[in-house]
Amino acid sequence: MFQAHIIGTGSSAPKRILSNIELEAIVDTSDDWITRRSGIKTRHIASKNEKESTTDLAAQASLKAMEMAGIQSEALDMIVTGTVTPDRQFPSAGCMIQEALKANNAAAFDLSAGCSGFLYALSIANHAIQIGSCKTALVVGVERLSSIVNWEDRSTCVLMADGAGAVVVTSKSESGGILSSHMKSDGSYWDLLYSSYGNSRTPEILQDVDIKPFFMSMEGNRLFKKAIRCLSSIAIEAMEKNNLTSQDIRLVVPHQANIRIIEGLASSLDIPMEKVYTNIHKYGNTSSASIPIALDEANREGLLKMGDNVLLVSFGAGLTWASTLIRWSI
Ligand code: ACO
């Protein structure tokens, strides 16, 4: 068996920063409510006039990850992209990213798992490397949620945002790197968070005049209650699998959906918040992009040292939840 090691990280966010104060002029909300209930102060929102499509943001993040890894695009033999907001329904964002990077030797595809998209994608790359069917993979988490939120719905538009993160993962014979990955889902809760855009479902939805077509709909309160339980259980599963305890974890990098969820997770794992990376105040909820953006920032801030145990954990639409335990090896 080969071992998958992360050898480069990168991230990218649109130039435009939208503050809570600016949102007060768009919907009936307040800086105080958003800050207290979610921890978000600002977020990055893509603009039509900049090169900030899903593909553009992903390619920018990927180039930074490849530069850190010291590899050229021809070395990639797989591009796995977690996203629910590809530029087009098809072809995949992965193929568009492949073209932008001229990564001609890669097989490229997307994976839709809500906010767990990046960890699901990392898991697929990890397993492909372990069995020897892939040597070097680019794993991307990217979203342009601003294109699918209803800007009249204060319960979602103040939370969601845009951005991209990427890692380069390669096969090595040394131990360490990705120690394990875990994925779970429960489709019986699909209607807690969904987009009404679709093919077979659209005509039915359009008959209902009260529902705005093609927008995101979320039951935040019910999701909130599920989130901490799911995140906590899959984090514990990852630690148990590797015979580690909370004390052995150097840094937790959780999905950035809500600071109260992150604090609840930390408390349930008995891990102090100093060991939990958060940047939700700057980026809001970027779904699949949130973990790779946070991982890249933590890495570039020098918070991760060779041999550190790093726990990534996510929860999102589906419902899906996932964890990955890494022995850092950059
Ligand atoms: N500004 C002001 N008031 C608001 C806003 C807003 N932006 N949004 C809702 N409110 C009001 C509600 O109408 C409600 O008013 P009422 O009491 O008069 O009825 C009140 O605030 C409380 O609303 P709740 O929804 O109960 O607030 P809550 O404390 O649950 O916070 C939040 C809402 C932030 C959405 C939280 O529930 C949450 O973070 N949920 C989890 C989200 C999540 O994890 N999603 C999955 C991952 S994301 C993904 O996959 C893309």
Question: Edge-to-edge, what's the strand order for the sheet holding 3-12?
Answer: 3-12, 162-172, 136-144, 78-82, 107-111
Distance 48 CA to ligand 1 centre (A): 28
Contact partners, residue 210, CB within 8 Å, separation at least 6? none
Domain count for the chain, please give it: 1
Reference 78, options 12, 28, 131, 39; nearest CA is 131
pTM of the predicted structure, to 2 decimals:
0.95
Give catalytic residues, as residue numbers.
Answer: 115, 255, 285
Indicate if ligand 1 lies below 6 Å from the C-beta of 259: no
Reference 314, options 141, 123, 163, 115; nearest CA is 115
Beta strands, E only, 126-271: 136-144, 162-172, 177-185, 193-195, 216-218, 251-254
Looking at the chain, the number of H-run helices and the number of E-run strands are 11, 13
For every residue of 17-53, DSSP letters joined together read EEEHHHHTTTSS--HHHHHHHH---EEE---TTSS-S
Indicate if ligand 1 lies below 6 Å from the C-beta of 20: no
Reference 265, options 312, 308, 219, 211; nearest CA is 312
pLDDT digit string (tens) for the chain, length 330 residues: 799 999 999 999 999 999 999 999 999 999 999 999 999 999 999 998 889 999 999 999 999 999 999 999 999 999 999 999 999 989 999 999 999 999 999 999 999 999 999 999 999 999 999 999 999 999 999 999 999 999 999 999 999 999 999 999 999 999 999 999 999 999 999 999 998 776 666 555 555 555 555 589 999 999 999 999 999 999 999 999 999 999 999 999 999 999 999 999 999 999 999 999 999 999 999 999 999 999 999 999 999 999 999 999 999 999 999 999 999 999
Looking at residue 76, which CATH number applies to its domain? 3.40.47.10
Closest protein CA for atom 1 of ligand 1: 29
Residue 96, both tokens: 């568009």
Pocket test for ligand 1, best of 24, 155, 260 (most atoms within 8 A of CB): 155
Q: Provide the residue range defining the domain that includes 181.
A: 1-330
